[in-house]
Amino acid sequence: MELRNNRIKHKLAAGGVATVVSGITHPDDIDAFGPIAEATGIDGVWLEGEHGAVDAAELGNLTRACDIWGLTSVVRVNDNHQGLIYRTLDRGAQAVVVPHVNTRAEADNVVAGGKFAPAGKRGMYTSRQYFGVDGYVHSGNDETCLIVLIEDIAAHANLDEILAVDHIDVFFVAPSDFAASMGRIGETGHPAVKEKIEDSIRRIVAAGKVAGTLTDNDDVADYVAMGVRFVLTATKGWLQAGAAGFAAAARGGS
Protein backbone atom coordinates (compact mmCIF):
# COMPACT_ATOMS: atom_id res chain seq x y z
CA MET A 1 0.00 0.00 0.00
CA GLU A 2 1.38 3.40 -0.97
CA LEU A 3 0.55 6.64 0.79
CA ARG A 4 -2.23 8.47 -1.07
CA ASN A 5 -1.25 11.66 -2.82
CA ASN A 6 -2.70 14.87 -1.45
CA ARG A 7 -4.05 16.35 -4.68
CA ILE A 8 -4.22 19.92 -3.39
CA LYS A 9 -0.76 19.86 -1.87
CA HIS A 10 0.81 18.58 -5.07
CA LYS A 11 -1.11 21.01 -7.28
CA LEU A 12 -0.04 23.97 -5.16
CA ALA A 13 3.56 22.78 -5.11
CA ALA A 14 3.47 22.70 -8.91
CA GLY A 15 2.23 26.30 -9.03
CA GLY A 16 -1.38 25.48 -9.87
CA VAL A 17 -4.71 26.75 -8.56
CA ALA A 18 -6.56 24.39 -6.19
CA THR A 19 -10.36 24.40 -6.34
CA VAL A 20 -12.40 23.36 -3.29
CA VAL A 21 -16.16 23.03 -2.73
CA SER A 22 -18.08 23.34 0.54
CA GLY A 23 -21.63 22.33 1.33
CA ILE A 24 -21.36 18.60 0.60
CA THR A 25 -21.92 16.96 3.96
CA HIS A 26 -22.66 13.25 3.50
CA PRO A 27 -20.42 10.45 2.21
CA ASP A 28 -23.02 9.41 -0.39
CA ASP A 29 -23.19 12.98 -1.68
CA ILE A 30 -19.40 13.14 -1.94
CA ASP A 31 -19.50 9.86 -3.84
CA ALA A 32 -22.18 11.22 -6.19
CA PHE A 33 -20.18 14.42 -6.68
CA GLY A 34 -17.03 12.45 -7.47
CA PRO A 35 -17.68 11.96 -11.20
CA ILE A 36 -18.54 15.66 -11.54
CA ALA A 37 -15.33 16.62 -9.77
CA GLU A 38 -13.37 14.23 -11.97
CA ALA A 39 -14.89 15.68 -15.14
CA THR A 40 -14.46 19.32 -14.13
CA GLY A 41 -11.15 19.20 -12.26
CA ILE A 42 -12.39 20.07 -8.76
CA ASP A 43 -9.63 19.20 -6.28
CA GLY A 44 -11.16 18.94 -2.84
CA VAL A 45 -14.18 18.93 -0.53
CA TRP A 46 -14.35 21.26 2.48
CA LEU A 47 -15.84 19.45 5.49
CA GLU A 48 -17.18 21.92 8.03
CA GLY A 49 -16.24 21.10 11.62
CA GLU A 50 -16.27 24.60 13.07
CA HIS A 51 -19.81 25.69 12.24
CA GLY A 52 -21.15 22.42 10.83
CA ALA A 53 -21.90 18.97 12.19
CA VAL A 54 -18.68 17.22 11.16
CA ASP A 55 -16.94 15.51 14.06
CA ALA A 56 -14.42 12.73 14.57
CA ALA A 57 -17.01 9.95 14.45
CA GLU A 58 -18.02 10.90 10.89
CA LEU A 59 -14.63 11.71 9.45
CA GLY A 60 -13.71 8.15 8.55
CA ASN A 61 -16.57 7.73 6.09
CA LEU A 62 -16.38 11.31 4.79
CA THR A 63 -12.68 11.10 4.04
CA ARG A 64 -13.01 7.61 2.56
CA ALA A 65 -15.57 8.96 0.10
CA CYS A 66 -13.09 11.67 -0.89
CA ASP A 67 -10.32 9.08 -1.28
CA ILE A 68 -12.39 7.04 -3.74
CA TRP A 69 -12.33 9.95 -6.21
CA GLY A 70 -8.88 11.31 -5.41
CA LEU A 71 -10.38 14.40 -3.78
CA THR A 72 -8.49 16.05 -0.95
CA SER A 73 -10.52 16.05 2.26
CA VAL A 74 -10.23 19.53 3.79
CA VAL A 75 -11.54 19.69 7.36
CA ARG A 76 -12.06 22.90 9.29
CA VAL A 77 -11.73 22.39 13.05
CA ASN A 78 -13.15 24.71 15.68
CA ASP A 79 -10.07 25.42 17.77
CA ASN A 80 -6.30 25.80 17.48
CA HIS A 81 -5.61 22.83 19.73
CA GLN A 82 -2.80 20.43 18.88
CA GLY A 83 -4.72 17.33 19.93
CA LEU A 84 -7.75 18.32 17.86
CA ILE A 85 -5.57 19.00 14.82
CA TYR A 86 -3.76 15.67 14.85
CA ARG A 87 -6.88 13.72 15.80
CA THR A 88 -8.52 15.14 12.67
CA LEU A 89 -5.55 13.95 10.63
CA ASP A 90 -5.64 10.58 12.38
CA ARG A 91 -9.27 10.19 11.31
CA GLY A 92 -8.27 10.51 7.65
CA ALA A 93 -8.27 14.20 6.77
CA GLN A 94 -5.61 15.20 4.27
CA ALA A 95 -5.89 18.91 5.06
CA VAL A 96 -6.80 20.76 8.25
CA VAL A 97 -8.08 24.34 8.43
CA VAL A 98 -7.52 26.19 11.70
CA PRO A 99 -9.55 29.34 12.50
CA HIS A 100 -8.48 32.71 13.93
CA VAL A 101 -4.70 32.42 13.63
CA ASN A 102 -3.64 35.91 14.68
CA THR A 103 -0.03 35.58 15.83
CA ARG A 104 3.16 33.76 14.99
CA ALA A 105 2.79 31.70 18.17
CA GLU A 106 -0.66 30.56 17.07
CA ALA A 107 0.68 29.64 13.63
CA ASP A 108 3.53 27.72 15.25
CA ASN A 109 0.95 25.80 17.29
CA VAL A 110 -0.83 24.67 14.10
CA VAL A 111 2.44 23.23 12.79
CA ALA A 112 3.20 21.59 16.12
CA GLY A 113 -0.14 19.77 16.04
CA GLY A 114 -0.13 18.98 12.35
CA LYS A 115 3.37 17.67 11.67
CA PHE A 116 5.33 14.72 12.96
CA ALA A 117 8.74 15.42 14.53
CA PRO A 118 11.11 17.02 13.82
CA ALA A 119 8.84 19.62 12.15
CA GLY A 120 6.14 19.35 14.84
CA LYS A 121 4.82 17.40 17.79
CA ARG A 122 2.02 15.36 16.22
CA GLY A 123 1.18 12.27 18.27
CA MET A 124 2.75 9.05 17.00
CA TYR A 125 -0.38 7.17 16.00
CA THR A 126 -1.56 5.43 12.84
CA SER A 127 -3.77 7.63 10.70
CA ARG A 128 -6.45 6.03 8.57
CA GLN A 129 -4.56 7.44 5.59
CA TYR A 130 -1.50 5.44 6.57
CA PHE A 131 -2.94 1.96 7.15
CA GLY A 132 -0.62 -0.51 5.46
CA VAL A 133 1.97 2.14 4.62
CA ASP A 134 5.47 1.37 5.82
CA GLY A 135 7.21 4.24 7.56
CA TYR A 136 4.15 6.49 7.64
CA VAL A 137 5.59 8.64 10.43
CA HIS A 138 8.48 9.54 8.13
CA SER A 139 6.45 10.19 4.97
CA GLY A 140 3.16 11.50 6.38
CA ASN A 141 4.27 15.13 6.58
CA ASP A 142 4.70 15.15 2.81
CA GLU A 143 0.97 14.55 2.25
CA THR A 144 -0.43 16.69 5.07
CA CYS A 145 -1.77 20.13 4.17
CA LEU A 146 -2.08 22.82 6.85
CA ILE A 147 -4.28 25.87 6.26
CA VAL A 148 -4.57 28.85 8.61
CA LEU A 149 -7.41 31.35 8.52
CA ILE A 150 -6.45 35.01 8.39
CA GLU A 151 -9.81 36.32 9.52
CA ASP A 152 -9.19 39.08 12.04
CA ILE A 153 -7.76 42.57 11.76
CA ALA A 154 -5.23 41.43 14.39
CA ALA A 155 -3.92 38.87 11.92
CA HIS A 156 -3.46 41.62 9.34
CA ALA A 157 -1.33 43.55 11.83
CA ASN A 158 0.81 40.47 12.55
CA LEU A 159 0.78 39.04 9.05
CA ASP A 160 4.51 39.30 8.34
CA GLU A 161 5.29 37.29 11.48
CA ILE A 162 2.65 34.68 10.62
CA LEU A 163 4.00 34.33 7.08
CA ALA A 164 7.45 33.55 8.46
CA VAL A 165 6.21 30.21 9.83
CA ASP A 166 7.26 27.21 7.74
CA HIS A 167 5.13 24.16 6.87
CA ILE A 168 1.88 26.08 6.40
CA ASP A 169 0.51 25.38 2.93
CA VAL A 170 -2.23 28.03 2.64
CA PHE A 171 -2.92 31.38 4.29
CA PHE A 172 -6.66 31.75 3.77
CA VAL A 173 -8.18 35.22 4.05
CA ALA A 174 -11.75 34.79 5.32
CA PRO A 175 -13.88 37.83 4.41
CA SER A 176 -16.90 37.63 6.75
CA ASP A 177 -15.04 37.33 10.03
CA PHE A 178 -12.48 39.84 8.78
CA ALA A 179 -15.26 42.38 8.23
CA ALA A 180 -16.79 41.62 11.62
CA SER A 181 -13.44 42.17 13.35
CA MET A 182 -13.38 45.64 11.79
CA GLY A 183 -16.84 46.47 13.12
CA ARG A 184 -18.41 45.91 9.69
CA ILE A 185 -20.60 42.84 10.16
CA GLY A 186 -21.97 41.69 6.81
CA GLU A 187 -20.08 44.43 4.94
CA THR A 188 -17.42 42.44 3.12
CA GLY A 189 -17.72 44.85 0.20
CA HIS A 190 -17.03 47.95 2.29
CA PRO A 191 -14.01 49.82 0.87
CA ALA A 192 -12.06 49.70 4.15
CA VAL A 193 -12.66 45.97 4.51
CA LYS A 194 -11.83 45.23 0.87
CA GLU A 195 -8.62 47.22 1.17
CA LYS A 196 -7.43 45.19 4.16
CA ILE A 197 -8.46 41.87 2.59
CA GLU A 198 -6.75 42.66 -0.70
CA ASP A 199 -3.67 43.99 1.09
CA SER A 200 -3.47 40.71 3.02
CA ILE A 201 -3.67 38.72 -0.20
CA ARG A 202 -1.01 40.86 -1.88
CA ARG A 203 1.36 40.46 1.07
CA ILE A 204 0.86 36.69 1.18
CA VAL A 205 1.61 36.40 -2.54
CA ALA A 206 4.58 38.78 -2.31
CA ALA A 207 6.05 36.60 0.45
CA GLY A 208 6.01 33.63 -1.91
CA LYS A 209 3.27 31.89 0.06
CA VAL A 210 -0.08 30.51 -1.11
CA ALA A 211 -3.08 32.77 -0.59
CA GLY A 212 -6.61 31.39 -0.36
CA THR A 213 -10.03 32.97 -0.09
CA LEU A 214 -13.77 32.43 -0.53
CA THR A 215 -14.99 33.01 -4.09
CA ASP A 216 -17.93 32.52 -6.42
CA ASN A 217 -18.41 32.22 -10.17
CA ASP A 218 -18.44 36.01 -10.54
CA ASP A 219 -15.22 36.92 -8.73
CA VAL A 220 -13.00 33.83 -8.81
CA ALA A 221 -11.14 34.94 -11.95
CA ASP A 222 -10.36 38.30 -10.34
CA TYR A 223 -8.93 36.64 -7.25
CA VAL A 224 -6.83 34.24 -9.29
CA ALA A 225 -5.50 37.21 -11.27
CA MET A 226 -4.57 38.74 -7.91
CA GLY A 227 -2.46 35.66 -7.17
CA VAL A 228 -4.86 33.57 -5.07
CA ARG A 229 -4.18 29.85 -5.67
CA PHE A 230 -6.57 28.16 -3.21
CA VAL A 231 -10.15 29.04 -4.11
CA LEU A 232 -13.15 27.90 -2.09
CA THR A 233 -16.75 28.12 -3.24
CA ALA A 234 -20.05 26.92 -1.83
CA THR A 235 -22.58 24.70 -3.57
CA LYS A 236 -25.41 27.01 -2.46
CA GLY A 237 -24.86 29.45 -5.32
CA TRP A 238 -24.72 26.65 -7.88
CA LEU A 239 -27.93 25.10 -6.55
CA GLN A 240 -29.71 28.45 -6.50
CA ALA A 241 -28.67 29.28 -10.07
CA GLY A 242 -29.60 25.82 -11.32
CA ALA A 243 -32.95 25.87 -9.54
CA ALA A 244 -33.73 29.36 -10.86
CA GLY A 245 -32.88 28.31 -14.41
CA PHE A 246 -35.00 25.20 -14.16
CA ALA A 247 -37.98 27.04 -12.69
CA ALA A 248 -37.74 29.75 -15.35
CA ALA A 249 -37.63 27.16 -18.11
CA ALA A 250 -40.65 25.39 -16.63
CA ARG A 251 -42.63 28.63 -16.47
CA GLY A 252 -41.64 29.48 -20.01
CA GLY A 253 -42.95 26.17 -21.28
CA SER A 254 -46.32 26.39 -19.54
Q: Based on the residue annotation, tell me whether 51 is a catalytic residue of this protein.
A: yes
Which residues, other chains included, contact 90 with Cβ-Cβ below 8 Å and sequence gap of 6+? 123, 125, 126, 127, 128
| Pairing outcome for strands 44-48 and 72-76 | parallel
CA 96 – CA 85 distance, rounded (Å): 7
Phi, psi of 38 (to 5 degrees): -65, -40
DSSP 210-233: PEEEE--TTTHHHHHHHT--EEEE
Catalytic residue among 51, 100, 138, 167: 51
CA 80 – CA 78 distance, rounded (Å): 7
CA 204 – CA 124 distance, rounded (Å): 32
Catalytic residues, by residue number, are 51
